[in-house]
Amino acid sequence: MFKPYFNQLVIREKLLFMQLSVLAIGMLIVFVATVTYQYISYQRELMQDLHAQMALIENNVGSAIAFDDSLAAGEILQSLSTNPSVDQAYIVLNNHTRFAGYDADKLNVGNQTSSASNSDIHLQQTITVNNQQVGVLYLNANVHRVNARIQVFALALFFAVMFAMLLARVVSKRINQILTEPITYLESLVTNVTKFNNYSQRSTIQSEDEIGALSVGINSMLDNIKMRDDKLVEELKHRIVVERKLDQLAYYDSQTKLPNRHAFTEHINQATGKNRAHFYLLMLDLDFFKVVNDTHGHEAGDQLLAQCGQRLRRILDEDDTVFRIGGDEFAIVLNAVTTIRDVEKICQRIIHAISQKFLINGQEIAIGTSIGIAQSSSGGSESNLIKNADVAMYWAKSAGKNTYKFYSEEIERANFHHQKLTTDLQTALKNEQFELYYQPIIHVQTSKIIGFEALLRWLHPVEGMISPNVFIPIAENTGAITTIGSWVIKQALAQLSRWQATYHPSLFMNVNISARQFFDKRVIDIVREALQETEVAPATVHFEVTESMLMEDVEKAVDMLTQLRELGTAIAIDDFGTGHSSMSYLKQFPVDTIKIDKSFVRGLPVDSVDTAIVEAIFALAKSLKLDVVAEGVETVQQLDCLKHKHCSKVQGYLFSEPVSAEKIESYLAKSSKLAHH
């Protein structure tokens, strides 16, 4: 109960408390001892007095007894009145008679109450005369006076003690203050240091005692801390400088002085992270940079990059950031623009700026740039954003360079589809996903099947039937067209061979050749091989080529057509009328048949322009002695119109759509029965 209270006190108070306690205990002991001693002294004094008086009386009273003078004895006893402690004294003779007496009360008339029984001290003294007892002196005395004296003494002592305590308290307090002042000072110093982390403060105490030692200790401790602190600050400063240098190295590209890929990734991470700011990301790739590097050397390349960086920086706003993210690639984050129109303007300015000639080592160098743009809000993560911009950049590159493309998900998806088909196409042939369909070509007058156009179909396991318009360009791009084309030729010829054997040897087969296939010399060998394998009469094999294919490289086309003709096969121009072939060119091509494009046939017989074109084609064919096949005949009216114009061969939905070989066989079976009948 006391201890917690004591613990709360400050040292000064504790000291004072302890000092006063010790003093009080000492004082109490001294007080008690002194009072006790004094009391005993007083008593002894009293007893000595009484004994002395009794001795005196005894000495004097003996003669009075001897001479039987009780008056004299009484007078002698009366001398006791000088001692207020004596209550009574009387002399009893040997024969037990009272000889003389003294009673203090008799003098103090006012106080009759006290009697011998109140007395505390009872003394007796034998009275001898000439060594013989003549009587006894009895004396009763009290200690009232002693008590009263001791009380006065105690009171005086008490006040003295109190005064001493008071004095001690004042002195102690002052001493304690002097004693604890340094402690309080040190305490406040340490508190201050802790509170404000100011390690430059020092204790000014310079005493020789423990506190002085403590003060010195604290000072040296503070010195150490300060030193360590300073060292730490120094080290931190140094570290910051080093870090800044490292940052410069880590985040900046030394050639262009632009932030590098590292900085770029971090910037994008931040930008797409928390605040999700809206911005545009531009990915730039320098066109023909590799050429510059190869022809003018790497040094020139580096200078070119640096200049590019400067140009880009000059075009852009303060808020926009340019990064060099590798090789000849730059990235730009546009923060300041909001509309696509603005982005386009900037892209145009960039393309313009980069396409201006660079002067490096006295030489003029021209390059370009392709820009892909992605919008921050469009694509979730930062990696997606970068990837999208990259994709758009490749589109720009493949769109002919020195241009810009915005990333769009639709295009991306289409591209993805395209990509998927491209991959699937690689294995389609092996997986027997290709099938040839055949559309019969009908002789108008006899309404009989006289030939077929072989049409390639791709039965995709997931997407189902895929049109040649979709996959042929892919096959051409990837080069797969060579193997696929060869398969088509062989397949078609094998089929024709079977049908000729079964139904009629004059049946012919039209096989489409794509542009890429057409300009590949190997196609000649493939055809030759197929013809040899199937033993089909070459004349019953017609290769269909388009006008635009022929016009791509007229000379080469003529050469190819000539070679095919030399094999004995015939050539048909597909989709005739849609291209821009001129008469003079047509004359050069060794062609046997022209196929009127279905777009013209569709207008028959109502559309006069179509009718005129068809008529003109017939006239042309007649003059060039070419056979004509009309495609896309869907109605009887169209057929009648064609009949009227002396068209002999037609194909179209009016007769049959492209169908499988089995279906064709059933047609052929029917028509042969009809023929037999």
Interacting residues toward another protein by CB under 8 A = 59-60, 62-64, 66-69, 72, 94-95, 129-130, 132-134
Residue 568 phi, psi (nearest 5): 100, -5
Q: Which two tokens stand for residue 21?
A: 């306690």
Structure-token pair, residue 227: 């030193």
Q: Which is nearer to another protein, 97 or 275 (CB)?
A: 97
Question: Between residues 7 and 130, which has the closer beta carbon with respect to another protein?
Answer: 130
CB of 132 vs another protein, minimal distance in Å: 5
Distance, CA of 463 to CA of 595 (rounded, Å): 31
Task: Give SS3 for 633.
Answer: coil
Please say which residue, 132 or 198, places its beta carbon nearer to another protein: 132
CB of 79 to another protein, least distance (A): 12
- In the complex with another protein, the residue whose CB is nearer, 134 or 189, is 134
CB nearer another protein, residue 108 or residue 133: 133
- Give least dist CB 53 to another protein, A: 16
- Which of 276, 281, 258, 260 is closest to 391 using CA atoms? 281
Beta bridge partners of residue 543, listed in sequence order: 511, 571
Secondary structure class of 467 (helix, strand, coil) = coil
Vertex 43: Cα angle to 38 and 49 (nearest 5): 125
In the block, residue with structure tokens 């430059």: 200
Cα dihedral 561, 567, 572, 573, rounded to 10, equals -10
| Residue written as token pair 């009794």 | 54
Residue 71: CA atoms inside 13 Å, Cβ hemisphere, count? 0
User: Least distance (Å) from another protein to the CB of residue 63?
Assistant: 4
Task: Give least dist CB 93 to another protein, A.
Answer: 8
Alpha carbons 389 and 392: distance in angstroms, whole number:
5
The pair of structure tokens assigned to 49 is 């007095």
Nearer to another protein, 94 or 219 (CB): 94
Residue closer to another protein by CB (options 130, 339) is: 130
Residue closer to another protein, measured from CB, 68 or 463? 68
How many whole angstroms separate alpha carbon 9 and alpha carbon 474?
Answer: 95
Please say which residue, 132 or 582, places its beta carbon nearer to another protein: 132
In angstroms, how far is CA 462 from the centroid of its own chain? 41
- Residue with structure tokens 């985040």? 251
Residue 601 CA to residue 580 CA, distance in Å, equals: 18
DSSP SS3 for 508:
strand
Determine the distance from the C-alpha atom of residue 132 to the mean position of all C-alpha atoms in its chain, rounded to a whole number.
127
Q: CB-wise, 60 or 548, nearer to another protein?
A: 60
Least separation in angstroms between residue 109's CB and another protein is: 29
DSSP, collapsed to helix, strand or coil, labels residue 503 as coil
Residue 427 corresponds to which amino acid?
T
Nearest-approach distance from CB 97 to another protein, in angstroms = 10
Longest dimension (CA), the chain: 213
Residue 83: CB minimum distance to another protein, A:
21
Instruction: Report the residue number, 62 or 259, with the smaller CB distance to another protein.
Output: 62
> CB 159 → another protein: shortest distance, Å?
48
**Residue 201: how many other CB atoms lie within 10 Å:** 15
Query: H/E/C letters for each residue in 23-62?
Result: HHHHHHHHHHHHHHHHHHHHHHHHHHHHHHHHHHHHHHHH
Least distance in Å: CB of 134 to another protein? Answer: 6
Residue 107 CB, shortest distance to another protein, in Å, is 22
How far apart, in whole angstroms, are the C-alpha atoms of residue 325 and residue 322? 9
CB of 48 to another protein, least distance (A): 23
Q: Which is nearer to another protein, 135 or 658 (CB)?
A: 135
